[in-house]
Amino acid sequence: MVGGMTFSIHGLAVARGIAIGRAVLVASSRVDVAHYFIEPAQVEREIERVRRGRDAVVDELHRLQQTISQLGPKDAPHELRALLDVHLMLLQDEEMVGGVKHWIRDRLYNAEWALTTQLEMVARQFDEMEDEYLRERKADLEQITEKVLRAMLGQTTSGLPAGIAATRKTSSAELQLEDTDTPLVLIAHEISPSDMLQFKQGLFAGFVTDVGGKTSHTAIVARSMDIPAVVGARTASQLVRQDDWVIIDGDAGVVIVDPSPIILAEYQYKQRQLDLERSRLGRLLDTPAVTLDGEKVELLANIEMPEDAHAAMKAGAVGVGLFRSEFLFMGRHGHLPDEEEQYRAYCRAVEGMGGLPVTIRTVDIGADKPMDSTVIEGNHLNPALGLRAIRWSLADPSMFLTQLRAILRAAAHGPVKMLIPMLAHLSEIRQTVALVEQARAELQREGLPCGPVLLGAMIEIPAAALTLKTFLKHFDYLSVGTNDLIQYTLAIDRADESVAHLYDPLHPAVLRLLADTIAECRAQGKDVSVCGEMAGDVAMTRLLLGLGLRSFSMHPAQILAVKQEVLRADTNRLQPWAQTVLNADEPSAAMGC
Ligand code: PEP
Ligand code: MG
């Protein structure tokens, strides 16, 4: 299993733990490609789909050849004829055809995934060629693969393929692998948040992507899956080959490729230690989160899908502090979920929490969360500063009303709070409040049951943190989205690994805005929580407690570790210490980080 040359790749640590497994490379393609495992019974159908896609392209090229043959050499230069011949040849290439079948038959990859994987394999061989002419044929291969993918997309009508639901456990994919227990780790240049969701079924033991910052949404979804992940690993997807053995150290942000037996043994030992630590934490599940001096602390969950709610409760959450509803809107190829679908989804989350409160954040599409991974929505210069979140919702009030109605209706089934992202302007607040009222009035007129909701605003833009009085006048509670608050305060794109070193939760300006928000809410007797990644970071728990925070919303996997910190904390002592940190030029040094 081991041998060759061990090397390591450094990236950003985003999700804790150690994964050891074989690399599965997911090629990035300009066409929206779904990746999922199929059932063995679907193998022939998938092979047929590729064949039909390929035949359609072959026909197209033949037609083109015929048209060209009727033209003179001036209108149809020799190069064009030659190029068509090359494309036709590549389409029939044994290695391509055989490889695609292999990925479908032996790995149970869906047709598109098989095609892009094989493209990646062959493209690498082209890269290594001495002959420049042949090296350049790679671009042709990419072009025709894309043509075949498009032809295949034309055949399929459904949005998400049914096979997505197949988990590694239920599919018999394992039986077809040489080593049935081998965990698989995913290596990709980039994975869109919606693609990441498709992988949420437990297919992979870890993730590595070339791009992305620590709080990019891809990283957030990886973290919610509670598997080791490294992002911003720059060239990982070029350096790692399909099937390579890989260790992902999610704590250090390191990927070790082709480990030597000694290194492997060391990481297996670490892995066992982490498992032990995890089971020790498990004992805290039913312990109430109360500090040494008796302060009660609320530990809530961040979820992406309604089905996550139940698991969140099982992980010890006393409610959902952030349901990122935009994940219901992604990968839908433009067909947004209607009121009924949203209503049912929100109800599932409410039911999943068994009577505990669920905070539904209205849709936050935009920036690094496009609706579809390859659909470019408008031509935004700076997507993070563009039409995102509430701005997007207010730009299409009827769509927003649909969501508001669905949330209000779900509130008839259990405690629901509504949370609005990215507000900065009083005009936005007014429009939002008016639309919530309108949605309620409509439902009442139609005789549809709806429940009471507390209305909250996210504090994610410095402008909001600096005008808290206005926010507190209109909202029942506030929730600080530190991921964006840091991004916008420091002008650091959270998804850009090249500036990740400047993304600093402990920058004095960030801490000042955060501390003031907590203090102002407490002074006015309004609830405040933090739902950014800071809330789930155990290195921050004491500081946040010291600043007066009593409500934390995080990935369910972090809850027990944060609870352990809470149980060991004495807020009477942390409070003056937090003020020192807050006033320090270098808070991280004052904290002893
Ligand atoms: C945040 O910005 O901190 C937040 C919780 O929202 P999101 O990460 O979805 O932007
Ligand atoms: Mg945000």
**Is pLDDT above 70 for 74?**
no
Task: Determine whether the shortest distance from the Cβ of 362 to ligand 1 is under 6 A.
Answer: no
Residue 304, ligand 1, Cβ within 6 A: no
Q: Which residues pair with 26 in a beta bridge?
A: 188
489 close to ligand 1 (CB < 6 Angstrom): no
CA–CA separation, 579 and 79 (whole Å): 72
Residue 253's region, left for phi above 0, alpha for psi from -120 to 50, else beta, is: left
291: Cβ contacts below 8 Å, ≥ 6 apart: 297, 545, 566, 567, 569, 570, 571
For the chain, state the CA radius of gyration.
Answer: 26
Predicted pLDDT at 172: 27
d(CA 487, CA 220): 15
Residues 6+ apart with CB under 8 A from 369: 193, 217, 326, 330
10 Å CB burial of residue 501 (0-12, 13-18, 19+) is exposed
Ligand 2 (single-atom ion) residues, CB below 5 Å? 460, 481, 484
Tokens 């609706």, residue located: 371
| Closest to 13 (Cα-Cα) out of 227, 190, 183 | 227
pLDDT digits (tens, 9 = 90+) for 158-191: 322 222 222 222 222 332 333 446 888 999 888 7
Per the DSSP assignment, residues forming a β-bridge with 230 are: 13, 208
Q: Which residue has the tokens 């979920």?
A: 337
Catalytic residue selected from 87, 189, 217, 507:
217
The model's pLDDT over 25-69, given as tens digits with 9 standing for 90+, comes to: 876 655 567 778 889 999 999 999 999 999 998 998 888 788 777
Task: Identify the active-site residue in 35, 347, 531, 555.
Answer: 531
Using DSSP's 3-state secondary structure scheme, residue 273 falls into: helix
Measured distance CA(552)–CA(300) in Å, rounded: 6
Q: Taking the model in full, what pTM does it have?
A: 0.77
C-alpha angle 156-157-160 in degrees, rounded to nearest 5:
90
Dump pLDDT digits (tens) for 507-561.
999 999 999 999 999 999 999 999 999 999 999 999 999 999 999 999 999 999 9
Average pLDDT over residues 83-108: 87
The predicted model gives 308-316 an average pLDDT of 93
Residues 433, 474: Cα–Cα separation, whole Å: 8
* Ligand 1 atom at minimal distance to the Cα of residue 484: 2
What pLDDT was estimated at residue 547?
98
SS3 at position 448? coil
Q: What does DSSP say about strands 245-249 and 229-231: parallel, antiparallel, or unpaired?
A: unpaired
Contacts of 317 (CB under 8 A, 6+ apart): 299, 300, 301, 356, 556, 559
Cα-to-centroid distance, 533 and ligand 2 (Å): 10
- The reply to whether 189 belongs to the active site is no
349 or 139, greater pLDDT:
349
Q: What is the pLDDT of residue 166?
A: 27
Atom of ligand 1 nearest to the CA of 534: 3
